[in-house]
Amino acid sequence: MMLTSGTASAASDDVSVGAFLSRANALKEKGIGAIFSSEIKALRDLGTKAGSDYRARLKRERASGRPSSCPPPNVKMDSNQFLAFLETYPVAARERVTLSTAVGDLFARNWPCR
């Protein structure tokens, strides 16, 4: 697993992997009742923001000739796959790694440039 240098202070609105997983796991515990929770949208919005942040970063990296990943267009991933990836971070690192950094790590691992 690749841990990049991002920290929870990287962006004021960027949440740590630990905080995101804690919220997602609390939502899972609600079972079917989670469908009616506003927390689903809040978590989805956080994930979307992290993805957008990474796409912007990747665009800058490509412009400089050094992309951190080479994903195919329109990558799709379901929430279970994303959460499973986040769970691969060591517990001790989860509070230091931001969700945006984790998205970058995910892309670098799954779609490295060759």
- pLDDT tens by residue, 10-20: 445 789 999 99
**pTM of the full structure:** 0.80
Give residue 95's pLDDT band: very low, low, confident or very high (50, 70, 90). Answer: very high
- Could you tell me which residues come within 8 angstroms of residue 29 by beta carbon, excluding any fewer than 6 positions away? none
Residue 19: count other Cβ atoms within 10 Å of its Cβ. Answer: 16
Query: Cα–Cα distance between 89 and 75 in angstroms, integer?
Result: 22
The answer to whether 58 and 67 are in contact (CB under 8 A) is yes
